[in-house]
Amino acid sequence: MSQELPVALRRTLVDFRLSGDGGLLLAGLPIVDADLGASPPVMSAPPRNGELARADAMLLLIASFLGYPVSQAGVDDGHLVRHVSPLPGHENTQLGSSSAGELMWHNEDAYHPLRPDWICLLCLRNPDGTATSFARIDDIPIDDSTRSLLARPLFRIEPDSSNTASSTAAEPPAVAVLTGDPSRPFVRLDPAFMFRASGGGDEAAAALEEVIKAVDQRLQDVSVAPGEILIIDNLRAVHGRRPFSARYDGHDRWLRIVNVAADLRRSEGFRTGDHGRAVVAEIELDTR
Ligand SMILES: [Fe+2]
């Protein structure tokens, strides 16, 4: 089905996938606000209406052209498409359901060896124009000595509390922040949940602090409007969300989100669920 999307859209998605540009904003998807129903609390069952079904179908078609939509078995019961909306009591947490507190920037599921390659955020409502924060690792100046420390497995990242299937009992494995081509590396950061490994020493702690400060200084705000899809390359860019006031009146900020894997073969044997696309979180974490 995704092969039948308009040629211009397919060309844009292929160009984006090959360029490694970090982010792409697609606009102009038809969303009829009046037919969507009330913005539901995060983790609740989606309202059943044709408008939301059409919106999800558009999101999945576009995501399917990029790669393979996947979910985490321990996040929102493994639903392939999830809500992002505020939830009473979560205002100041580091979860997508927060609102009054800043959701600190991060790579999605940074702790996980099978973290998604891309995340696709479809905006259904954003009444205050709340910004998604965003930075591409290519735009972050990092000196050579910091870069070489960040390329070594000297850091640990704990699962965030959205993943109920992940245990924090065992110490997470030591991983590198930068991997791949040293001149154009992939990035793996989640400052709210990461620290230097015990063998890392003060130099590793300083390098981590340095890159976090540099990202802070170059964070851009991207306000995603209804009918727009923001695609984030989760290996090349970090994202977060600026604070906003939740309304809890049925018209809150509401995104639908799907994670995308470039290659299903990496998760062979670790997937479960009706659609065979939920990645089981309790796999042995390694340094892949
Ligand atoms: Fe996120």
- DSSP structure string for 110-176: TT-TT--SEEEEEEEE-TT-PEEEEEEGGGS---HHHHHHHTSS-EEEPPPTT-TT---SSPPPPB-
- What's the rounded mean pLDDT across residues 36-56? 85
Chain centroid, CA 266 distance in Å: 19
Centroid of ligand 1 to alpha carbon of 197 (angstroms): 23
Output the CA 259–ligand 1 centroid distance in Å: 10
Domains, the chain, ordered by start: 2-138+221-279 (3.60.130.10)
pLDDT of 281 above 50 = no
Q: Which of 30-34, 74-78, 130-134, 275-279 is predicted with the least confidence, judged by mean pLDDT?
A: 275-279
Strands 278-279 and 68-72: what pairing? Answer: parallel
Tell how far the Cα of 229 is from the centroid of ligand 1, in angstroms.
Answer: 15
Output the CA angle 232-238-243, nearest 5 degrees. Answer: 100
Q: What is the C-alpha separation between 124 and 32, in angstroms, rounded?
A: 9
Q: Any idea what the Cα angle at residue 120 is, between residues 281 and 70, rounded to 5°?
A: 30
Tell how far the Cα of 108 is from the centroid of ligand 1, in angstroms.
Answer: 5
Cα of 232 to ligand 1 centre, how many Å? 10
The four Cα atoms 279, 43, 54, 17 give a dihedral, to 10 degrees, of -40
Pair of tokens at residue 222? 């991207």
Region 54-68: mean pLDDT is 95
Question: What are the beta bridge partners of residue 256?
Answer: 83, 122
Determine the distance separating the centroid of ligand 1 and the alpha carbon of 152, expressed in angstroms.
Answer: 24
CA gap 87, 156 in Å, rounded: 29
The answer to whether the CB of 107 falls within 8 A of the CB of 215 is no
pTM: 0.91
119 Cα: distance to centroid of ligand 1 (angstroms): 8
Supply the angle between the helices 7-19 and 50-66 in degrees, to the nearest 10. Answer: 50
**Cα separation of 204 and 209, whole Å?**
9
pLDDT at 219: 97
Single-letter code of the amino acid located at 233: D
Of 35-39, 239-243, 250-254, 270-274, the range with the lowest mean pLDDT is 270-274
| Nearest one of 79, 76, 43, 37 to 59, comparing CA atoms | 79
The predicted-structure confidence for 195-223, as pLDDT tens digits, reads as follows 887 777 899 999 999 999 999 999 999 99
- Within 10 angstroms of residue 183's Cβ, the number of other Cβ atoms is 6
User: Which residues are registered as beta bridge partners of 134?
Assistant: 220, 239
Question: Residue 59: which of 89, 30, 101 has the closest Cα?
Answer: 30
pLDDT of residue 283: 42
Give the closest residue to 120 by CA, choosing from 78, 69, 187.
69
User: E strand or H helix at 26, and its extent?
Assistant: strand 23-26
